[in-house]
Amino acid sequence: MIKDVIKQIDAIAINDPNRVAYDYLGKLNTYGDLKRRSDAYAAKIKTMGLPDKAPIMIWGGQTFEMIASFLGAVKAGHAYIPIASYSNSERLTMIQEVSQAPAVIAIEPLPIEMTDIKVLTPEEVKNDESTITDNNFVEGNDNFYIIFTSGTTGKPKGVQISHKNLLSFVNWELTDFNLPKQPSFLAQAPYSFDLSVMSLYPALTSGGKLVVLPHEVTENIGKLFQTLPSLKFNVWVSTPSFAEMCFLDPTFDEKHHPELTNFLFCGEELSHKTAQMLKKKFPHAHIYNTYGPTETTVAVTQVEITDEILEKYDRLPIGVAKEDTQIMIDTSKGEKENQGEVVISGPSVSKGYLNNPEKTEAAFYQDDKNDYPSYRAGDLGFMDEDMLFYRGRIDFQVKFNGYRIELEEINFYLAKNPLVRYGVVAPKYNAQHKVQQLVAVVELADGVREKYSDEELIKKLRDDLSKDIMPYMLPQRFIFREEMPISQNGKVDIKQVIKEVNA
């Protein structure tokens, strides 16, 4: 049982400094490298005069320098906010505005000049063998990291994950997933995506290794299929969608990856079809379906997908809650008997959203029945004995390619466009109940139709949206309507639009 994430990683570095911790496309870094570099970041951060426990934004990709800066921040007593360097500049400034972070570590060059906060670059951090004590280490209920998710009013929400939250998750993963000793994990998810934590800290606290598949490689299918066969690891972590893409590679099977023994899926629903295909390609591997919102630290339920499970269920279960966690179903939010909103209580549940008491109060609560906070997940589900099943969202939040997207955030920016009178983004589902496309349904402003062709309109709308939202949130399809369905309260009937898109 691990009692302290930072001390555990440092202890491995002291006892076995030459053990490989990080493999970035063949460039190796050891645990000794990780301790020296994270200590150097911690020493430098402590000289910057930052407010006590203030969070630090960290901008970059999936390099070794990123995780060294993560650990450096928490060693100096500050939570880190990971921001992927493929994000747009508006997201960076918005996160700074919400978080009130006094500093940013620019592992890669920033897209804009930031004059109102302190900027630290790797070149300014010298490996001077600084002695770092654990006096300032993040601990207990202090924030360890803050992940920013989509927001409903154009502002992203910062989910605060404490050291205590992270410990609960890491100890569960290392105990309940039949992992090999000192496992080597695929690190494919960008660090701004909390799925990355399913690889990052279980690997580093167990003396394992992170084998990185960078975002720029996964975005290029040619590069992906050239790179993936050369990587050696035994624990696969990804969304089901990413694995489905890899099915196109004929070498993605047990014969070519004999060392690959464990698959851990999270971020979206694992379909029966995908699990069945994976069992054929890797007949001896352990395949786990997991579930959990960012607000509850990556995942809180798991189930191994066996032949018996595949035979018993057409739509797969999302698992049994970890031992320290309670799952409840609020049937007042459901339309069918025994079905309702998933409510999660346990030590991995976040304290709430950073600097956002209104949203925190709406989603989190504490009652006398539980020692831990409870989170209303907004997911529709039901229990069959101790097994949880997922049946979609009770609001307009969706999972697409593993990313959690609040449709209202896209709608917010779409409605601001002068070309648009009404605009709604609807999810298009496939036969496996997964979001296949984001479809923008638009009623144009007066006079617009006469000025532009459909192709010109789509380009203008996509270009404008890309200034305000992440690339994965951009609609793949646009439908232009003469009139939108309007509800009794005078607003666009979003449920009707979604129904029509999926008809």
**Range of weakest confidence among 117-131, 224-238, 273-287:** 117-131
Instruction: Report residue 416's pLDDT band, with 50, 70 and 90 as the boundaries.
Output: confident
Distance CA 88, CA 111 (A): 8
Q: What tokens does 254 get?
A: 């047990």
Distance CA 73, CA 80 (A): 6
Classify burial at 216, counting beta carbons within 10 Å of its beta carbon; exposed 0-12, middle 13-18, buried 19 or more.
exposed
Mean pLDDT for the stretch of residues 281-294: 98
Tell me the CA distances in angstroms from 359 to 118, 141, 174, 362, one per residue in order.
Answer: 29, 20, 32, 5
Distance CA 413, CA 415 (A): 5
Q: How long, in residues, is the chain?
A: 503
Helix (H, G, I), strand (E, B) or coil at 444: strand
Instruction: For 58-96, write each residue's pLDDT tens digit.
Output: 999 999 999 999 999 999 999 999 999 999 898 999 999
Mean pLDDT for the stretch of residues 281-300: 98
Instruction: For 158-199, write each residue's pLDDT tens digit.
Output: 999 999 999 999 999 999 999 999 999 999 999 999 999 999
Mean pLDDT for the stretch of residues 214-240: 96
Tell me the CA distances in angstroms from 419 to 258, 424, 442, 448, 462, one per residue in order.
Answer: 54, 14, 10, 6, 12
Task: Report the pLDDT value the prediction gives residue 399, as an integer from 0 to 100.
Answer: 86
Task: Report the chain's mean pLDDT, rounded to a whole number.
Answer: 94
Helical residues (DSSP H) of 16-81, grouped into ranges: 31-46, 64-75
Classify burial at 30, counting beta carbons within 10 Å of its beta carbon; exposed 0-12, middle 13-18, buried 19 or more.
middle
Q: Where are the beta strands (DSSP E) in 262-373?
A: 262-265, 286-291, 301-304, 319-321, 326-330, 340-345, 364-365
User: Is 153 a residue whose pLDDT tops 80?
Assistant: no
User: Is 393 a residue whose pLDDT tops 80?
Assistant: yes
Mean pLDDT for the stretch of residues 325-346: 90
Instruction: Report residue 11's pLDDT band, with 50, 70 and 90 as the boundaries.
Output: very high
Task: Report the pLDDT value the prediction gives residue 151, as an integer from 0 to 100.
Answer: 61
Instruction: For 115-141, write each residue's pLDDT tens digit.
Output: 899 999 999 999 877 788 999 999 999
What residues form DSSP beta bridges with 84? Answer: 60
> Beta strands 387-393 and 420-429: pairing type?
unpaired
Q: What is the DSSP letter of 143?
A: E
Share of the chain above pLDDT 70, in %: 98
